[in-house]
Amino acid sequence: MSDYTAPLADMRFALEEIAGISEIAQLPGCEQASADLVEAILEEAGKLASGVLAPLNRVGDKEGSRLENGVVRTPDGFKEAYRQYVEGGWNALPFEPEHGGQGLPMVLATAVLEMWNAANMGFALCPLLNVGAVEALTAHGTAEQQRLYLPKLISGQWTGTMNLTEPQAGSDVGALRTRAARDGDHYRITGQKIFITYGEHDMAENIVHLVLARLPEAPPGTKGISLFLVPKFLVNGDGSLGARNDVRCVSLEHKLGIHASPTCVLAYGDSGGAVGYLVGEENRGMECMFTMMNNARLNVGLQGVAIAERAYQQARDFARQRVQGRPVTAKTAGTYPIIHHPDVRRMLLMMRAQTEAMRALAYYTAGAIDRARHHPLSETRARQQRRVDLLIPVVKAWCTDLGVEIASTGVQIHGGMGFIEETGAAQHLRDARIAPIYEGTNGIQANDLVGRKLLRDRGEAARELLADLRAIADRSESAMGEDFAAITAMLGAGIDALEDATAWMVATGGADLPRALAGSAAYLKLMGIVVGGALLAQGALAAKTRLAASASDTAFHQAKLATARFFAEHVLATAPSLAPAIKGGATTMSFDLEGF
Amino acid sequence: MSDYTAPLADMRFALEEIAGISEIAQLPGCEQASADLVEAILEEAGKLASGVLAPLNRVGDKEGSRLENGVVRTPDGFKEAYRQYVEGGWNALPFEPEHGGQGLPMVLATAVLEMWNAANMGFALCPLLNVGAVEALTAHGTAEQQRLYLPKLISGQWTGTMNLTEPQAGSDVGALRTRAARDGDHYRITGQKIFITYGEHDMAENIVHLVLARLPEAPPGTKGISLFLVPKFLVNGDGSLGARNDVRCVSLEHKLGIHASPTCVLAYGDSGGAVGYLVGEENRGMECMFTMMNNARLNVGLQGVAIAERAYQQARDFARQRVQGRPVTAKTAGTYPIIHHPDVRRMLLMMRAQTEAMRALAYYTAGAIDRARHHPLSETRARQQRRVDLLIPVVKAWCTDLGVEIASTGVQIHGGMGFIEETGAAQHLRDARIAPIYEGTNGIQANDLVGRKLLRDRGEAARELLADLRAIADRSESAMGEDFAAITAMLGAGIDALEDATAWMVATGGADLPRALAGSAAYLKLMGIVVGGALLAQGALAAKTRLAASASDTAFHQAKLATARFFAEHVLATAPSLAPAIKGGATTMSFDLEGF
C-alpha cells in the first residue's frame, strides 16, 4: 500500500546547500566523495531502499520477528534483503578504510541512512546498532580485536549490538548488575540484559555483543563499569567460527512498533559464564559507551526525519487520489481529491516543511562531524566539535518528537482509513514512537543540552551558533521580496528568543539547576525550531540564487522558498512564546509531589 | 497493570465552579439533581468504572471483538459488565423521563460519561453511539416508533447505532449510495455501510440501526438523503422480537486501537432488502443526522479528556514507583523514584494541567446545553445555544488532539517500558488516535467553526464569549499574588489574540474563504487554549475564595492555582504566536499542488 521513493532532489539540495558537501569533499580524507560518486551512491541507495527494503516494511510489521526454540527468525524476505545490502557494500560506507570501510563522509552516510530508515525502520535498526559496535572497537579495541572483528562488522557479514539496559538499569546505566570475572586472558560474563535490539537473529552468521558489566570489587555506580566484547560464536585466530558462546535469547518483547526488529532479553552465563574480552580499560566502560552512543543519537534523530518523510509521502499520495467532498476551492464541476481542501494542504505543508527543517538540521550536524574530523585547522575542528556536541541532543530529541507528530498527522490525513492497520499509516506512528525513548530519552537529551553542553562552557558554543544564525538572518534581511520579509521577521525574533533563553539558562543553571532543567525540554525545542528555521532560510536564499542563475527546476526552487516561509509562519513564529515555559521552572518545581 | 480511579474531587470542582451545577439544578426540569443525588451518582459511577470497566480495558485490547459465523463476540467479561451497567440504570441517566430516562442534567451525564470512557473506551463506545439513536428518535420519531423503541434503547436493553459511512462516502455523506424503496408501510434498504461501531455484538438482545439511505428519484447530494430505522430483529406491536432482519455483519476492521469495539461492515438487503422505517421526513435525513451528531461531538471530545486522565494516572503511578537515576533535586542519599526528576514533573504537569483545562471546557459546554434547554428566559436559552454551537467543534477537536498528545507523553514517561504493550500505556495512545478522526475529522471541526459557526452570525457568538472571558480576566487582575499576576498577563494577551483573530476571520472569510479555512485549525486551537486557560483561571479564583473561607482541602485548592499558572506559562503563553499561522493561509493556498 505504502510506497517510498527516496527524495533525491531534496536530499541533494540539503547536502549541497545546507551541509556543504562540495566543501567537505575538499577536506583531506574526504577527497573521494566526488560529485559523481555522491550522485551514484544516492541513486543506487535509492533503488535498494524503494525496490527491496520498502516493500518489506509492512511484512515486517505484520509478521514480526519470532523466537522459536532459542532461534530468532526475522520476517520473510529480511534475510535476503540483508544479503543484498551487504553484497552491495552498503554497510561499509561510513567506516574508515583501514579495516575495509569506504571512508566516505558522514554527511553522505547520513543521507543514505535516512533512506534505509524511511524504507524500513525495523530493518535499518540492525545496521544502526552495528555502527556503535564498530565505533567502540575502532576507538577502544586492541589491535587483535580490531583485526579479528572489525572487517566483518564493517562489511556486515557479522552484526554488532549494544548491551546496556537491565530491568533496574535503564537510563541509569550505573545501576547495572551484570558481572564479569577474570578467567585467564578473558573474562566470564553473567547476567541478564533487556531491550537488546537484534540481540539474536538469522541474518548474519555471527553477532558481536558489546556488553557493559561490573568487575568484582569495582567501585559502585558508573565508575565501576567495564565494556566487554562477547561474540555469539567464539572466533578462532584465523577468523573462523568456533564454539557457541554462553549467551541465549530467552524472550522477545511484544512492542507497539518496529515489530520486525527483535528486542531481546539476553541471558549471559547460564552455563558457567559467557566468554568476553575487555574493550578499553577496566572500569572505563562509560567512556566507551559514550563513543557508541554519540553517533547513535544522531542516527536515531535521523529516524525521526526518515519516518516523517515516509509518512508524508504516503499521506500525499492518499490525498492525491482520495475523492471526498467538494472543496471550497473548486471552480468547476467534477470530482476533486482531498488535497484541494485547505486544511489538508495545511497538514501536508506542516509535514513537509518540518521534515525539510529536520533534514537540514541532521545533515548540517553530520557535516559538522566531518569538519570536526577532517578540517586541517585544529581551531576549526574544535569549533565544529563544539557545534556537534551542542546539536546532537537537539537532533535526537527535536527530530524524534516531530517524527511522532508528523506520523500522527499522516494518520489524520487518511481519515478513517488511517486507523485501519492495512492502510499502513498507523504503522509509521507506532514505529516512530520508540525514537523519543531509546538512545537516551528526550528528557535526558534536554538535560544533556542544558546541564552538560550549555553549562560546561557557560554558553560559548551556543553563542558561536547564535552568531552563525544571525549571519543567515542578515542575509535574509538583505534579500528582496515578501517571502524573505516574513522569514526575516520570524527568524530575527526567534534568534533573539534563543539568545535570551541561553543567557537565562547559563545564569540560572549554576544557581538553581532543577529550575533550569525543568525548562530544558522547552529550551531544546526552541533551539530546534530556530536552527531548523534558520537552515530553511539558508536554503531559501540558495534557491533564490539558483532561480536567478538558471531557468531549470524553477518549481522545485520556488517550493523551497514557500516551505521556508510556511515554516516561519507556522513554527518559527511560536519560538518567542516558549520563554515562559523555559523560565517557568519555579512553578514546576514548587508543585507539591503529593498533589499529583 | 493500569488502574483507574475516577478523579471525583476534580470532577466535583469542575461541576461546581466551572459548569455551575448548583445553579443548573435550580432550572425547571433539573430540580432532581440535588447535591446529594449528584454526589451519590458520582460515587457509584466511580465504583462501576474502576471496579468493573477499568479491569476489562486491557482484556478488551488483547482479545478484541471477533466475528465468528456472522456473530460478533465481545471480549471476555464485556457481556456481564454491560448487564451490570444496564441493571444499574446508568444508560437512562441523561434521557428525558417521558420514555424512562432519569432526566438528569447533561453536565452530570458528562462527568459520568468521562468515567466510562476513561475506564474502558472500547466498552463506552456502545452506549455513546446509543445516545445518538435515542436523540434522533426523540426528536424525529413517530409516536409509535418512540413507544416501541425508546424505552428499550433508553434502558440499554437494546443498543443503537449510526450508519452513515460507505466506502466512497466518509466525510462526504452526500455521496452515499445505499438505497431505500417503499414497500407498503415500510421501506426496503439495500447497500453496504462501513465503520459501524457496535454494528453487531452480543451484549444486547436487539440492535437498532439508524441508517442514512437514498430514495428512488431523490435529489443528488445531501438533499436526497433520508433516515431509516432498521432493527436487527423486527419488533412486534407488543414490543416482543420477531424475525431476523436482512442485515448482516460481513467483516470487522483490524484497527490501531479500541479493539474491543467492533467496527463493522454491514450488508443490508442481501436477501431482498432489510425492513426499514422512515424517521422524520423523506429527504430530510441530514437534519436528523445532525441531531445525532451534535452531542456525539461533545461526547467524542470528552473521550479526549477521559483518555488523557487515564494516561495521566498511569504515568503518575509509574513515576512514583520507578526508581531510576539520582535526581538533581536529591538532597540525601538513597533511592528516588523518577517523579523527582524535573523533566518528569514537567511532563506530568503538562498532562495534568491540560487535562483539567479540557475537562473545564467540556463540562462548561455541557452546562451551556442544560441552560439552553431549561433556562426560563428564551433570550438566555438562545444565547446559551449560540455558545454551545460555537464551542462544540472546539471541544471535539481541541480535546481529541490533546488526548493523543497526552497519551503520547504518558508513553514517554514510562521510558522503554512504555513501548512494551504489556505496560498498557501504549494502548491509551492507540485508543486515543481515533478520536480526532471520527464524528467529523478535526479538520472538519475547524471548517465548521470558521465556515459555519463564525461566519453565519458574523462573529456575534464569539464576541459574546470574548466578553465573558474578559470578565474572568478582570477578576483575575483584581486578585492578589504572583500566580494571578502571571495568569492575568498570559490570559489578557490570549484574549486579545482571540479577539483579533476572530475579527480577521470574519472579515477574511467572506472575501476569501479558502484562505480563512487554511487558518481554521490554528484558530480552533487558539480558541481552545484561551477558553481552557480562562476557565482554569476561573477555577483558580474559586480555589482562592475557598482557601480564604476554609482550612479544609488546602493542598487540593493550592494545586488548582498551580495548574492554572502552569497552563498559563506553558500553553496560554503560546496563544498570540498562533496569529501568523491563522492569517498565513495565502502561503498555504498558493503552494503549487504539483510541488507536494
Minimum-distance CB partner of B255 among A420, A517, A584: A420
- B396, B400, B402, B408: CA torsion to nearest 10: 180
Average pLDDT over residues A166-184: 93
DSSP one-letter code for A88: T
Average pLDDT over residues A284-306: 91
B569 contacts B533 by C-beta, under 8 angstroms: no
Neighbouring residues of B288: CB distance < 8 A, sequence distance ≥ 6 = B136, B139, B140, B210, B227, B279, B280
- Set of chain A residues whose Cβ sits within 8 Å of the Cβ of B325: 171-172
Average pLDDT over residues A505-530: 97
- With 90 as the cut, is the pLDDT of residue A1 above it? no
Q: What is the pLDDT of residues A303-346, one digit of tens each?
A: 999 999 999 999 999 999 999 888 888 888 788 999 999 999 99
CB atoms within 10 A of CB A492: 17
B439 is catalytic: yes
Say how many CA atoms lie within 13 Å of B434 toward its Cβ. 26
- Set of chain B residues whose Cβ sits within 8 Å of the Cβ of A329: 514, 589
- Set of chain A residues whose Cβ sits within 8 Å of the Cβ of B559: 591-592, 595
Residue in chain A lying closest to B589 (CA): A342
- Comparing B124 with A325, the larger pLDDT belongs to B124
Residue in chain A lying closest to B556 (CA): A595
Which residue among the candidates B439, B464, B477, B482 is catalytic per the annotation?
B439
Confidence (pLDDT) at A291? 82
Q: What is the pLDDT of residues B410-439, one digit of tens each?
A: 999 999 999 999 999 999 999 999 999 999
Amino acid at B465: L
Residue in chain B lying closest to A168 (CA): B324
Number of cross-chain residue pairs from A and B with Cβ atoms under 8 Å apart: 271
Cβ of B171 and A325 within 8 Å?
yes
Mutate to test the interface with B, among A326, A343, A433 (most CBs of B within 10 A): A343
- Set of chain B residues whose Cβ sits within 8 Å of the Cβ of A514: 327-329, 342
Say how many CA atoms lie within 13 Å of A513 toward its Cβ. 17
Confidence (pLDDT) at A355? 98
- Set of chain B residues whose Cβ sits within 8 Å of the Cβ of A581: 569-570, 573
Mean pLDDT of chain A: 96
Confidence (pLDDT) at B2? 59
Average pLDDT over residues B189-204: 98
Which residue among the candidates A282, A439, A464, A499 is catalytic per the annotation?
A439
Confidence (pLDDT) at A331? 81
Distance from CA of A370 to the nearest CA of B (A): 32
Burial of B460 by CB count in 10 Å (0-12 exposed, 13-18 middle, 19+ buried)? middle
- Set of chain B residues whose Cβ sits within 8 Å of the Cβ of A576: 577
- With 80 as the cut, is the pLDDT of residue B392 above it? yes
Average pLDDT over residues B219-242: 96
Minimum-distance CB partner of A420 among B253, B422, B555: B253
Minimum-distance CB partner of B587 among A255, A558, A569: A569
Burial of B87 by CB count in 10 Å (0-12 exposed, 13-18 middle, 19+ buried)? exposed
Burial of B219 by CB count in 10 Å (0-12 exposed, 13-18 middle, 19+ buried)? exposed
Closest CA to B101 of B89, B116, B111: B89
Distance from CA of B282 to the nearest CA of A (A): 23
B108 contacts B31 by C-beta, under 8 angstroms: no
Q: Cα separation of B488 and B491, whole Å?
A: 5
What's the complex ipTM?
0.97
Minimum-distance CB partner of A569 among B339, B446, B580: B580
Burial of A271 by CB count in 10 Å (0-12 exposed, 13-18 middle, 19+ buried)? exposed
Cβ of B347 and A443 within 8 Å?
yes
- With 90 as the cut, is the pLDDT of residue B455 above it? yes
Cβ of A434 and B419 within 8 Å?
yes
Confidence (pLDDT) at A2? 59
- With 60 as the cut, is the pLDDT of residue A7 above it? yes
Ordered alpha helix ranges (H), A64-164: 78-87, 106-119, 121-140, 143-155
Average pLDDT over residues B90-96: 93
Three-class SS state of B327 = coil
Three-class SS state of B89 = coil
Angle between helical axes of A425-432 and A378-413 (0-180°, round to 10): 140
Mean pLDDT of chain B: 96
Q: What is the pLDDT of residues B341-389, one digit of tens each?
A: 999 999 999 999 999 999 999 999 999 999 999 999 999 999 999 999 9
